[in-house]
Copies of this chain bind each other. A is one copy, B any other.
Amino acid sequence: MKVSLGAKTLAQPTPVWVIGSYDAKGKPNVMTAAWGGICCSQPPCVAVSLREERYSYPGIVQHRAFTVSIPSKAYAAQADYFGIVSGKDVDKFKVTGLTPVGSTVVDAPYVAEFPLVLECVLVQTVTLGIHIQLVGEILDVKADADVLDDKGYPDAAKVQPLIFTPINKSYHSIGDQVGMAFSMGLTFRDGPGKKHP
């Protein structure tokens, strides 16, 4: 028997993503978003939701671009700060000492110190309520070499992305590997006797 908690955004996990953009004058800015996710495999697209009144919003629409810089847990305080203050009032890069890098693929900056970055062109905006969803087509992904696994893809245990828990506002790190997808479940399809790679 489950307890009813009402109509609330109580999903888990949600990401901690730092959205990079230029403002009207070309100043690099970042803000933190937890409302977002991959939304299409082909073309590869990611969605992030912003309130229209956010300082980042007009810049993303004007430049038709944003980046998603994924902080490792070592940068949790910086990522949190990026969600507390507005780029209207402060230069968030200067205050934190982090480094803006201009993407050469899209018209937006990313955070040099964060290990994994998606570079996106804005392809669609979807008005949903107090948030507007920005759909970005991922034109390139950039990663620090030391977070890649032996196949050359980002290893979550090395990226150490943060996980946000809505409403109780907690950040968690990523834990142990539980298993492999499209593999653990084969026991239900094939029976427990079968060996799976």
Residues of A within 8 A of B (CB): 2-15, 17, 34-47, 49, 68, 70, 73, 76-85, 95-96, 116-118, 124, 126, 128-131, 133, 135, 137-145, 148-149, 151-157, 159, 161-189
Contact = CB atoms under 8 A, between A and B. Distances in A.
Max count, chain B CB within 10 A of own CB: residue among A174, A182, A187? A174
Copies in the complex: 2
B38 A130 contact: no
A42 B185 contact: no
A155 B128 contact: no
Nearest to A37: B37
Contacts of A167: 153
A149 B12 CA distance: 14
Contacts of A180: 169-171
Contact of A77 (B41, B166, B179): B179
B181 A40 contact: no
A68 to B, nearest CB: 7
A47 B42 contact: no
B185 A81 contact: yes
B13 A174 contact: yes
B116 A12 contact: yes
Nearest to A164: B181
A10 B154 contact: yes
A126 B129 contact: no
B128 A10 contact: no
Contacts of A43: 7, 128-129
Given A128-B124, A165-B154, A138 B9 contact: yes
